[in-house]
Structure 1
Amino acid sequence: MGNGRKPTVKICGIRDEETLRGLLTLPVDQIGFVFAKSRRQVTPEEAGSLIRIAREERGDALHRTVGVFVEPSREELTAVLAKAPVDIVQLHSEESPDDCRWIREQFGVQVYRVISLASQAKRSGKMDLRRPIQPLRAAKELLLPYQGSVDAVLLDTYDPVTIGGSGRTFPWESIPPYREAAHRLGMSLIAAGGLTIDNVRSLLDLYHPDGVDISGGVETDGVKDIQKIRTFVERVKGHEQADRIAANRKPDELS
């Protein structure tokens, strides 16, 4: 978090064991399961089974699991997390600081709070979650109430239908004030929305988020593509250490 560490990678929208096992061979930091209504939605039982596989294969210290929710009630969260004990709860709705604090304390998880920004193509008109570019002071005022109750802020592209996963980018020049405000308040800043293997290096070079979150950008015909995931991860992790993955594949390193 602003200390020179390599950015984290979250691959979201995982639904099947084959893809999961492919991720477990890569330096992916977070694996996301969508519980909100979406074409990538999984049931708590499906996610629970995949979480057990991940923990059996790699242990709790690697590949943190994330549950994505939109306007969940406390009862829904309790029921879902009883079957799918994720490490992180990601909220795409308007939860209050008290709600976020309750989730952290009740379930012993981290909480990511999503802020939705207008896409490059939609920058005018009245905005609800579609916040305009924020200067540092405004960003800090927005985030300050969540200090101590939220671990990371995730900037995503606003879409009234898909909520997240729109496949469109927001104006990346919005990132610096949010990143600075988040760091001052002890939070990380994660960027999502329209990322691909072709544009992620530009994002990292120009705006230096603490992490990146991708789903549709590593799919082919709506299905997770392990080769695209591998390329994406290599480009992110190679941003500061280009030879790391190749070195890890050397026979003398695998013995």
Structure 2
Amino acid sequence: MLLKYCGNKSYDDVKVTASSEANHLGFIFANSKREVQVSDVAKWLSEVNFTSKKIVAVFVNASLDRIKEVITSLPIDIIQLHGNESVYDIELLKNEINQPIWKVIHHQQGAWDKMTDYKNVVDGFVIDSKVGSQWGGSGFPFEWKSIPFYVRESHKFNKPCYIAGGVTPENIEVLLSYSIDGIDISSGIEERFKKDEDRIKQIEEKVFKYERAK
């Protein structure tokens, strides 16, 4: 089970998540309450040991120039596209960069059918809820009973399937029962809008317990 702790927005956040058992640390380069600046992220990463983590840059309908600016300035391992990016947009991006790309699919009935369109241009899928005008980070889960449809499609194309949106220590055990590949968490590991060691510990204890029982 792969863990991505996203929405790191301060040195303290990065210090906490870098010392966790997460596989990925995410930073949001888009209009959001968790938006960060390149110069800040560069400074934070220079002050922590993150060598065992992969760094994910999250964009929402960003220009090609903006994405290239970020990935040439920071040690980015994965690009996560969280907006309405088309297959054509991603093809243009792939011609310019050499990093894996994850595409977010916002849940609605039948949204798993969209995954076929992206099967040849992305390296993984993240399934998230969309609340109002927010592209993510709402803290609300989608209808998890639909997860098997997304997992089936993702695995049909040999792509990993991550689940995001409203995942917390209180509900993660339910989510783990769906045989997903990874979990993308932001607000669920926060207390008073800061990444929280205790909530992270609770998440990881339940994930490791699930892994041992498999």
Shared topology, TM-score over 0.5? Answer: yes
1:181-200 matches, within 5 Å, as 181-200=153-172
2:10 is equivalent to residue 38 of structure 1: no
Quote the offset at 1:53 in angstroms: 4.2
* Amino acid corresponding to residue 122 of structure 2 in structure 1: V
Whether the 8 Å contact between 2:18 and 2:25 is mirrored in structure 1 is no
Quote the offset at 1:186 in angstroms: 1.8
Quick one: distance in 1 between partners of 2:193 and 2:168? 14
- SS, match of residue 113 in structure 1: strand
Quick one: distance in 2 between partners of 1:209 and 1:80? 30
Residue equivalent to 2:203 = 232
Report the aligned-residue RMSD: 1.8
Greater shift, 185-194 or 90-99, is seen at 90-99
1:89-168 matches, within 5 Å, as 89-117=79-107, 131-132=108-109, 134=110, 139=112, 141-168=113-140
- SS, match of residue 106 in structure 2: strand
Residue equivalent to 1:3 = none
Residue equivalent to 1:65 = 55
Deviations 1:43-67 (A, max 9, x none): 011122334445xx243xx211111
Q: Aligned pair count?
A: 213
Query: Which runs of 5 or more residues in structure 2 are unaligned?
Result: none
Quick one: distance in 1 between partners of 2:204 and 2:35? 23
Deviations 1:67-125 (A, max 9, x none): 111110111112222222311111111212232233344221111111112xxxxxxxx
* Amino acid corresponding to residue 206 of structure 2 in structure 1: R
Query: Which runs of 5 or more residues in structure 1 are unaligned?
Result: 1-6, 118-130, 243-255
2:165 is equivalent to residue 175 of structure 1: no
Cα 1:43–1:58 change in 2 (3 A) is closer
Question: TM-score when scaled to structure 1?
Answer: 0.78
Deviations 1:10-67 (A, max 9, x none): 111112223323323322111000111111110011122334445xx243xx211111
Quick one: distance in 2 between partners of 1:170 and 1:239? 22
